[in-house]
Structure 1
Amino acid sequence: MKIEPRRLLELLAVARHGSISGAAEAVNMSQPALSQSIALLEREVGVKVLERGRQGARLNDFGDALVFYAQALESLLGRAGEEIRMRSLGLEGTLALGITPVTAVDLVPRCLELLMRESPNIAIKVIDGLDQEITEMLRTRQLDVLVRRLGIAPQYTDIEEEPLFGVDWSLIAAPDHPLAQRASVRLSELADVQWVLPAGGSAFRQQMELVFASVGQTWPERGISTNSILAIKSIVMNSACVSVISPRLVEVEAAAGRLKVIPLEDVGPPRPVGLVWRRGEKLSPVAARFAKIIRTLAQEENELRRAAVATP
């Protein structure tokens, strides 16, 4: 079966605009020409892809399946054009990287610094989003590679995952907070504390909801909500509020004595964070360099942490 790529992009326009007329205007075609193109696409694939009615054109299941590949094609063409534009400006290439909040600190920035030092003539775009969002962006070729928690987003046969390191969650409090003197606490026993936690709609909030759900706790309604990790840390340092966060995000403040990190007993073992890419596809040269660097740094960090734990 051979599909004309242009027809996929035209089907994508119909999906976005919900009608042949709206899509025809968007792609600068006449309605009859676009209708004929969709009919030819249906002939190529051997099934109907649109249900036409008084309310417009609606994709059926076959059309939805094709739109996924149409989005990937659109992204791929856009990335190709951007790559050529960058090379025409004297740059070597590009990297589109997807991350989540817990991976935005420490390891990924160090990797990017080493990558830029090794390859200064590159352009890097970093997207911070929900696990599911950046996974879909990877699948539709808007991103080259991800660094995110594993086992959170749905499992797809077209992506591959490689664990790099583990992330745990701890309670943070001001040094003079009553809980700061505890060697450890249980999340399930903190019903009466004042919280500062991520607001809705963020990747950080999604991750925290899973932490509370893992111990059978409902999301706390009392306290302060914000999508700024900087604000969460500052509020905890200057108030009686506490929060749940990865110790990686507060290493500087903890080392300076501004925050106390208290291990949580009941949230389970560290969650794996890893590298994610499209299965069966060769990484671009820049993405391959990034992957090599982050693997090396993760291995070195894991060895240091194991040595620290083994030291009496």
Structure 2
Amino acid sequence: MEYRQIPANAVPRLINRLRLKHWALLAALAETRTLHEAATRISVTQPSATKMLADIEQAFQFPLFERHSRGLRPTSLGEEVVGYARQSQASLARFIEGLEVKRRGGHGQLVIGAIMGAAPDLVARAVAQIKQQRPLLNIRMVGETSDQISTSLERHDIELAVGRFSSLLQHNLFDFTPLSNEVMQVVVRRGHALVRQKKLPLAALMDWPWILQPVTSPARHLLEEEFARARLSTPANIIECASVFATLQLLQTSDAVAALPESVVRDHVKAGLLRALPIPIGSDLKGFGILTRKGEPLSEIAATFVSLLHQFAEPAAVPAPRRGRRQAPASP
């Protein structure tokens, strides 16, 4: 198919020709990259999906996908169209879900992402406060690490996130407003052999199993930098786990070591289920904050939630650095 100049009447023509099913097909192709799987996902036959894609490309008057033996790959312009299709489907799903909540007597919906370091304190307090103000508000929280929630934010699966940038160029996609810092702690189960040692260099932990966050998370980047600074290799015996709940369970039932936010392990340490080791870590991890998509205003509910986050973050201002090596901010 040849590229043609888009005529002046392209917008009304596209609106008239493309239906919800067309956009649903494009969103499905973004996930599956094969017409067979995309057709199954939107409950049409493959011949129907093939014709729909042809109609879509005819409407746009340029190819959206390149055909390969392993499926379809979006063209450069196709990426733009597919991205919008995914955004529109996510927005429609949230609208329908919110409408259903209101039909049942509820009052709106808020979908947010939060890293596990912010969830136990700051986010939990803001959620509790807004639920007190709006008891019938439907709130959904997703995510564990910054890379997970930034992906959800980019895909319009959530309205805002509490985390940090997980890659260098994300400042082009998201606005960031700092909220707080978090101290990391290296923890093990109670009764662990390491608890009996008074002096513990990081090297003494290398022969033990470790539970680490995925390599795409900022906290994992920081931990790898700590290993490198100490001239140590990544531990050979590791479990990669993004779930805080699974990590806490694994810590209590094994001899594994993990570095987690203080807010996450605080109650477990107080209860004697976990023990914090005297190893400073996390001095180079930047504080977390609110991530929102550039150029997109927040809903009234989301704006209210953000104001609550700022309100609860104010008392937890970052203390001045101590002399010597400081034990600083962190969180996945």
Percent identity for Structure 1 against Structure 2? 20
User: Which moved further from structure 2: 207-216 or 141-150?
Assistant: 207-216
2:152–2:158 Cα contact (<8 Å) kept: yes
After superposition, where does 1:146-157 map in structure 2 within 5 Å? 146-152=161-167, 154-157=169-172
Distance between the aligned counterparts of 2:71 and 2:194, measured in 1? 62
After superposition, where does 1:7-156 map in structure 2 within 5 Å? 7-16=22-31, 18=33, 20=35, 23=38, 27=42, 37-52=52-67, 57-152=72-167, 154-156=169-171
1:107-162: CA deviation from partner (whole Å, max 9, x where unpaired) = 22122111111110111111124423322221222111111133557515232111
What is the TM-score with the length of structure 1 in the denominator? Answer: 0.77
Distance between the aligned counterparts of 2:276 and 2:71, measured in 1? 57
Residues 9 and 192 (structure 1 numbering): CA distance in 2 closer, same or farther, change over 3 Å? closer
After superposition, where does 1:94-243 map in structure 2 within 5 Å? 94-152=109-167, 154-173=169-188, 174=190, 182=198, 186-187=201-202, 189-198=203-212, 206=217, 209-215=220-226, 216=228, 217-222=232-237, 228-235=246-253, 242-243=257-258
- Report the alpha carbon displacement of residue 84 of structure 1 after superposing the two structures with TM: 1.0
Residues 25 and 143 (structure 1 numbering): CA distance in 2 closer, same or farther, change over 3 Å? closer
Map of 2:297 onto structure 1: 282
Distance between the aligned counterparts of 1:120 and 1:40, measured in 2? 46
Gaps of 5+ in 2: 1-9, 324-332
CA-atom RMSD in angstroms? 3.7
1:131–1:152 Cα contact (<8 Å) kept: no
2:220 alignment partner AA? E
Distance between the aligned counterparts of 1:136 and 1:225, measured in 2? 19
Distance between the aligned counterparts of 1:224 and 1:211, measured in 2? 17
Between the two proteins, the alignment pairs up a number of residues equal to 300
1:306 aligns with 2:319: yes
1:249 aligns with 2:264: yes
Residues 209 and 132 (structure 1 numbering): CA distance in 2 closer, same or farther, change over 3 Å? closer
2:180–2:289 Cα contact (<8 Å) kept: yes
- Report the alpha carbon displacement of residue 264 of structure 1 after superposing the two structures with TM: 3.6
1:167 alignment partner, SS class: coil
2:105 alignment partner, SS class: coil
1:168–1:269 Cα contact (<8 Å) kept: no
The one of 269, 274, 283 equivalent to 1:268 is 283
2:56 alignment partner, SS class: helix
Gaps of 5+ in 1: none
1:186–1:265 Cα contact (<8 Å) kept: no
